[in-house]
Homo-oligomer: A and B are copies of this chain.
Amino acid sequence: MRDRFVNQALTKWMEGTGKESEIVISSRVRLARNLCDIPFPNVAAAEQTKAVVSQVEGAIKDAEIEQTSGELIFVNLEELEPLDRLVLVDKHLISPQHAEEAAGKGLILRADEAVSVLINEEDHLRIQCLFPGLQLEEAWDLASRIDDLLESKLDFAFDEKLGYLTACPTNVGTGLRASVMMHLPALVLTNQASRVLASLSQIGMTVRGLYGEGTDATGNLFQISNQVTLGRSEEEIISNLVVVATQLIDHERMARQVLLKETKPQLEDRVCRAYGTLTSARIINSQEAMTLLSNVRLGIDLGIIQGVSPQVLNEMLVLTRPAFLQKLAGRELSPFERDVQRASLIRERFSLDG
């Protein structure tokens, strides 16, 4: 039964390892790159798009790159079922846009999904490293080395003054977007989250929910990333984000201690009720599941709940998404059927621990 989760669902970032993994779920670094003399994907002709895929696919099949990144597999998105593409979205590996319009798009993937290269999404290439815990430097280091090796074989569009050229001007320069996914339940419970997170925009950071732009911070999960890609070095961008993440970790830790000190019974009640509901419900929607999973995770972190592994939250983030539930069921499910399937999956997962 465990296999079902491990084989079909787990990717590297869900492991719950890495530094500060109690609060930082994952760290991601993504580099936007484009080939010279070929229009950006949104305006490229089918032939040109095809040429990009074959150039990148050719370049990546390289002993030195594989030695650096691990074995990489090329996937033609057009050949995947729509549901499988949605699963890749749920795993944070491709964007929803990339999943919807698969024509001419490719994905290069390491088996543990910690390394991926998206071909012909918004840019010709997006090199992505996604690690568990606070591992921004590690992710940057690997992405950068893969980038260097690819650059030695491919002709990237680069301007002496502007830096790397990208389809969207917000990515011009370093082409680097770094982000951390943080679980900040105590900041939310102590009503500090909005204030603390709002202040981040003043220092060039963007805060989003779990599934990117325009999504809510369901489950007390916040994705914090750099706004600016131009005029700063990659190392500066990474180290700034590490500083911000570290401050948020301290803040969250303090808020947790305050909760434990000042409202312990209420906290225990919240956590235990969440566990009770998750292990009992027969029908549960995504929003409620995320909220309760967040409470349970907080309870695990604080020792209120024992015998349940902390990575259960990470796993459930993906396993309980509509696409994944339908993948498991092997067919399309109505919203009601998904809520039933979700409840059943959660009960099953918790019964493995505890």
Write the residues of chain A forming the contact surface with B, with a CB cutoff of 8 angstroms. Answer: 265-266, 268-269, 272-273, 275-277, 279-283, 340, 343
Contact = CB atoms under 8 A, between A and B. Distances in A.
Contact of A277 (B265, B266, B276): B276
A146 B185 CA distance: 64
A277 B273 contact: yes
15 contacts: A265-B283, A265-B340, A266-B283, A268-B282, A269-B281, A272-B280, A272-B281, A272-B282, A273-B277, A273-B281, A273-B282, A275-B280, A276-B277, A276-B279, A277-B280
**How many of these chains are in the complex?**
2
Nearest to A275: B280
Contacts of A275: 280
Contacts of A277: 273, 276-277, 280
A308 B258 CA distance: 39
Nearest to A304: B282
Nearest to A279: B276
Given A272-B282, A276-B280, 14 more contacts: A265-B283, A268-B282, A269-B282, A269-B283, A269-B343, A272-B280, A273-B277, A273-B280, A273-B281, A276-B276, A276-B279, A276-B281, A277-B277, A277-B280
A350 to B, nearest CB: 11
A268 B280 CA distance: 10
Contacts of A266: 283
Nearest to A337: B265
Nearest to A272: B280
A306 to B, nearest CB: 14
A334 to B, nearest CB: 12
A281 B276 CA distance: 8
A281 B266 CA distance: 10
A142 to B, nearest CB: 43
A102 B280 CA distance: 47
Query: Which 10 A-B pairs rank lowest in CB-CB distance, beginning with the nearest?
Result: A276-B280, A276-B276, A269-B282, A269-B283, A272-B280, A268-B282, A273-B280, A273-B281, A276-B277, A272-B282
A275 B272 CA distance: 13
A214 to B, nearest CB: 30
Contacts of A273: 277, 280-282
A122 to B, nearest CB: 42
A292 to B, nearest CB: 11
Contacts of A281: 269, 272-273, 276
A266 to B, nearest CB: 7
A190 to B, nearest CB: 18
